[in-house]
Amino acid sequence: MKGKKLTSKNKKIIISISFIIAVGVISALGYKIKVNQNNTKSTVENVADKFEVTGENGLKFKGISVISKEQRVGMDKTLGDIESVNVSNKQEVSEGDVLFTYSNPAISEEVAGVERQIASANEKINRSNGKRTEFNNEIEEYKNQLNAVKSKKQGEATPELEAKEMELTQKLQAAQAKIEAEDAAIETLKDSSADLEKQKEALSSKQKKVIKAEINGVVYINEKGLTDPTVEYMRVVSKEPLIKAEVSEFDVEGLKVDSEVQIKVVSNGDIVKGKISTIDELPTVSVDGKTTAYNFYVKPEKAIRVGFSVEVKVKEDSIQIPKDYVYEQDSKLYVAKSKDDDKEDPFEKIEIKAELKGDNYSLIDGDITLGDKLMKNPSDIFKGDN
């Protein structure tokens, strides 16, 4: 066969094969053009279905839940020993409730001594009052006798009657003098008794010292405080919640008392509303002395456990997301955030907290920042996700 010319049959076979190859190439080119057209269309559609987050971020500050009010009560041995305890550990109390009572035995002895002095003074007063009554009776008797003598003198004045009148007058004057003396003694004894009563009252206040709650709150008792003067025996901790946060010198002027804020609990993501209650006038200075900051305090609408870290947002974000870019799943809201640098997994499912207002969701919390791109109809993108 080598060196021979192609037969008519072979020529036909070659032409058929060439035709088939040409058709295949044309089909492949047509498919590629169609794919490219579809990709171009998809790209256009994706750009049109993206929403770029715009708006204004609020001011955020780090804070911590702290005790708002506290009463610390230590043992004071100079007041005596504890006679009675009126509360138990972790009991809720109100302002004015009795916590416990001191009793001082040494003061009790002093009080008893003063009471004996008061009793003695009162006894002397009673005796003086008794003598005064006797002297009054004598005076009345002398007056009656004197009147009788004066009546006889009107009929006949004799030396005997004159002498008797003088004697009765002298006795009357002496009795009146005794009454005046007793009256003076009684006044002195009454003054002394009054002073002793004041002394007793002052000692009695030390004899039994009542310790009361100065605030509403919960009592915490540390038995170690009974013997260790460096440890509080009781603490009354207010249940009123309070947040302490820090603001820089650059942002402090933007804070106002009574301004509403949003509080996010870092550990569990809970969102709580609150109001700024106070802003410190004096700053705190860093250890190196290079920066200054101001403490401010927020009253949350509900209690946040003491010690929990929080994020305080003073001015709410003004980020609005069209509702077509948000979907709800198991009572939670999600968006599809575009990841331009990840071709294999181009979308990230982000949980957000937001409030629907009209056709837009107002962002409350979530890992969404200005410039992020969100995809429309995210439920289609994450269809089948649990």
Q: Which of 313, 343, 373 is the last residue of a domain?
A: 313
Does 75 fall in a domain? yes
Considering the domain architecture, whether residues 357 and 308 belong to the same structural domain is answered as no
Domain containing residue 352: 319-381
- pTM, two decimal places: 0.55
**Of residues 74 and 108, which shows the higher confidence score?**
74
The β-bridge partners of 284 are 293
Please give the mean pLDDT across all residues of the chain: 84
pLDDT computed for residue 46 by the predictor? 43
pLDDT band of 316, cuts 50, 70, 90: low
pLDDT of amino acid 325: 93
Q: Are residues 200 and 167 in the same domain?
A: yes
Mean pLDDT lowest among 4-8, 243-247, 258-262, 301-305: 4-8
pLDDT of residue 34: 42
The percent of residues in the chain predicted with pLDDT above 90, rounded, is 44
Do 372 and 244 lie in one domain? The reply is no
Q: Is the pLDDT of residue 314 over 90?
A: no
CATH (domain of 332): 2.40.420
At 91, is the pLDDT very low, low, confident or very high (cuts 50, 70, 90)? very high
Domain containing residue 298: CATH number: 2.40.30.170
Q: Could you say which of 263, 291, 313 is where a domain stops?
A: 313
d(CA 219, CA 238): 9
Number of domains present in the structure of the chain: 4
Q: Go through 77-100 and write b for each residue having 16 or more CB atoms within 10 A of its CB, e for each that does not.
A: eebbeeeeebbeeeeebeeebebb
Residues 112 and 200 in one domain: yes
Co-location of 332 and 294 in the same domain: no
- Asked whether residue 342 is domain-assigned, the answer is yes
Domain co-membership, 157 together with 225: no
Res. 41 pLDDT band, cuts 50 70 90 = very low
Domain identity same for 276 and 260: yes
Residues 178 and 109 in one domain: yes
Q: Which of 23-27, 100-104, 118-122, 146-150 shows the lowest per-residue confidence on average (mean pLDDT)?
A: 23-27
Whether pLDDT at 56 is above 70:
no
In the block, which residue shows the tokens 């190196």?
Answer: 288
Domain boundary among 186, 206, 226: 206
Estimate to the nearest angstrom the gap between the alpha carbon of 87 and the chain centroid: 21
- Locus of tokens 């044309």: 26
Q: Is the pLDDT of residue 319 over 90?
A: no
CA gap 32, 27 in Å, rounded: 9
Shared-domain flag, residues 287 and 352 = no
Nearest to 148 by CA among 167, 165, 170, 169: 165
Cβ–Cβ under 8 Å, residues 207 and 103: yes
Q: Is 49 among the domain residues?
A: no
Kindly state whether residues 75 and 202 are assigned to the same domain. no
